[in-house]
Structures are given as C-alpha cells and as structure tokens.
Amino acid sequence: MRKSTLSMPLLILSLILIYCSINSASAAQLPEKLLNMPIHLIDGKTVRLADYQGIKPVYLKFWATWCQPCRKEMPHFEHVQQTLGKDMAVIGINLGVNDNLQSVQELIKEFNLTMPTAVDRNGDLAQAFRLLGTPYHLLFDKNMNLIFRGNAVDESLDNKLQLAAKTQPIDLLDAQLLEEQSENVKINLQDDKLHVLFFSATWCDWYLKDSRPQVSKNCIHAQKIVNQLADEFSQVQWHGLISRLWTGEKDLQEYQKKYAISYPINIDYSNRLFHEYGINHLPTMVIIQQGKVLMKTTEFKDLKAIKSKLALQAK
C-alpha cells in the first residue's frame, strides 16, 4: 500500500511533464532562414536573430515615416528601448517603401530614437516576416520563439514585453504565422508577348495626400496615364498589381471603379511580384518580354519616352 501511495504523485508529475513537453513543442521553432536573415543597420552593422538566441529576447518593429500610427507609437517605442533595452534587443526596421535614409534619419532625430535601426531596402525582411501592414510588431523570447505578432501597441504587447525581459514563461505562437500561405498572382511572363506590370496601392492617392503629397499626386497621375496607354496599346498585356498592405478585395473593387480600370488588376497577396521586381516606390511600371525587364520607371512625366518604348517593343 505504501509503495502504491508514493507512486501516485510521481505518476501525476510525469503526466504534467509530458503535457508541458507536448504543449511546448506545438509552437514551431523559427526556421533557419529567419534566424539567419541579415538585418543591415544604418550604422553599418549587420545583425541576425541567431546572434541573440540563448542570450536575450528580440523585439522587431517595422514602420514607415509616412505611417501615422507608426509616428504616434514612436514615444512608446523609445520608452521600451530606455526601460527594457538592457534586457532585450530592440530593433526598428523602416519599410523602405517611398522612404530614404534622409527621411528615416529625420524621424529618428524628431523622436530622439536610440535603438538600432535598419532600412529594408530590397524588401527581404518584410517578405521573410510576412508583413501585411505597419506598424508591425514581432516579439521573440530568449530562445527565438515567436511570442507576439500584431499591428498595434496594446496591453497584450506591453505585458509580453515585460515578461520577456524578465525571462518569464510566455505562451508561444506558432512560427507558421510567419510563413507565406497566400497564392501567387498567376501571370506567364516568359512568353513572346509584351507585358506591362503597373505596381501601386489603393491607398496611395488618399492616405499619402498630407504626408507625401507629391507621391499622392504621382499615384493619381500615373494611374490615369496607364489607363490611357492601355487603351492606346491594346496589343500589350497590361497587369495592375496592388500592394497587399492594408488592402482587401473591397478596397480593390472600389479603386478599380474609381479609376475606371479596364485591364486585369489583382492584389499581390503573396507579395511575390513586388518583392521579385524590387518595388520600393509607388507607383512603378515594369515592361517585360520573355521574362526580361526592358524598362522600369517611377516617373510618369515623360509620356513620350514610355510610348516610344512600347511602340518599339510592341511591333
């Protein structure tokens, strides 16, 4: 009887340990690709999540200088750096879209930001970490498990920042949340036909009206120019590609109706084409034939040059 009584607590403890082990394993670890993704800081240094694994948690925040919620959150971002920066790596990542080093440095100065900062010039980080909108918060514990993913500063983020800094146990998120699951836009760009890809965003005209007025005007002007060109060069294959940032099908339909767009237009939900063609400025036009880029431009004032290129290649 005594032996049986003593074995019961051990049995219960074993079951608890097994449960915890299974529960912990249910949240996938970050793949090597993400752990070793280089983050190039503007001070010339390069860091990776793997550099901090087993040492301290990492808090990544993606932002843009023209993103109003991002700007509002900057005091909070700096507060995290000042209060928790010794216990976790705090890193800011500028989206790199319609921004440059000068505008980034001006914002850093405006808000007295002291954390390391990177500019995602080629979009590799946004693609790797599946960014769908800014601000974008990612928090990883000391072992580089994902523990927070969101688009706003809230109580949940603050609580997890505190717990992570103190290396307290936190529920893990499945790292598959960072894996791209959307289908690619299907376009055959390897044929002999002449293709024009026009990259823009449904919010480019109105959202950037105050923060980037020239960009806003260019987006409106470019869309009208492309509509005109699509009518004039009907033998060319025209494709409208819309940024997936903050955008859904309803937004796409309203945009298409607003500008009376007659050629095919799709949201690049997987962001594959935006990333593949290095789109870091809206709007952008890319002319392609047999998979080769013949022209890439963000300027739509010289309509004659664009027409000449189309006329020459469309023969």
pLDDT in tens, 61-74: 999 999 999 999 99
Residue owning tokens 């376009």? 187
pLDDT in tens, 44-57: 999 999 999 999 99
| Residue 315 pLDDT > 90 | no
Single pTM value for the model = 0.88
Q: Do you know the residue count of the chain?
A: 315
d(CA 107, CA 119): 13
Question: Pick the residue with more confidence: 23 or 280?
Answer: 280
Does residue 95 sit in helix, strand or coil? coil
pLDDT at residue 29 in the model:
78
Q: Which residues are CB-neighbours of 249 under 8 A, at least 6 positions away? A: 267
Residue type, 62: F
Of the listed ranges 19-33, 39-53, 134-148, 232-246, the least confidently predicted one is 19-33
Distances (CA, A) of 182 to 70, 204, 270, 276: 26, 23, 5, 16
- The vertex-49 CA angle with 47 and 51, nearest 5°, equals 65
Residue type, 255: Y
The CATH architecture one would assign to domain 27-178 is: 3-Layer(aba) Sandwich (3.40)
Average pLDDT over the chain reads: 92
Q: Which two tokens stand for residue 231?
A: 């009518």
Distances (CA, A) of 53 to 48, 96, 102, 142: 9, 26, 32, 6
pLDDT in tens, 156-197: 999 999 999 999 999 999 999 999 999 999 999 999 999 999
How many Å separate Cα 313 from the centre of its chain?
A: 34
CA contacts within 13 A on the Cβ side of 139 = 26
| Residue 6 pLDDT > 80 | no
Task: For the chain, state the CA radius of gyration.
Answer: 24
- The vertex-6 CA angle with 2 and 8, nearest 5°, equals 120
| Residue 24 pLDDT > 50 | no
**CB burial string 174-206: b at 16+ within 10 A, e below:** ebeebeeeeeebebebeeeebbbbbbbbbbbbe
Residue ranges of domains in the chain: 27-178, 194-313
Does residue 277 sit in helix, strand or coil? coil
310, 233 Cβ separation under 8 angstroms: yes
- The vertex-134 CA angle with 64 and 91, nearest 5°, equals 70
- Tell me the average pLDDT across 101-128: 97
Q: Do domains 27-178 and 194-313 have the same CATH topology?
A: yes
DSSP strands (E only) in 3-158: 39-40, 46-47, 58-63, 89-94, 117-119, 136-140, 146-150
141, 147 Cβ separation under 8 angstroms: yes
Of the listed ranges 25-29, 151-155, 159-163, the least confidently predicted one is 25-29
> Among residues 165, 283, 269, 300, which one has the least CA distance to residue 219?
283
d(CA 58, CA 53): 9
- Which pLDDT band, with edges at 50, 70 and 90, does 41 fall under? very high
- Report which secondary-structure segment, H or E, holds 127: helix 124-128
| Residue 1 pLDDT > 70 | no
pLDDT at residue 48 in the model:
98
Q: Which two tokens stand for residue 7?
A: 């074995």
- For residue 292, the cross-strand partners are 289
Q: 194-313 belongs to which CATH class?
A: alpha beta
Q: Which two tokens stand for residue 162?
A: 């505190």
Does residue 219 sit in helix, strand or coil? helix
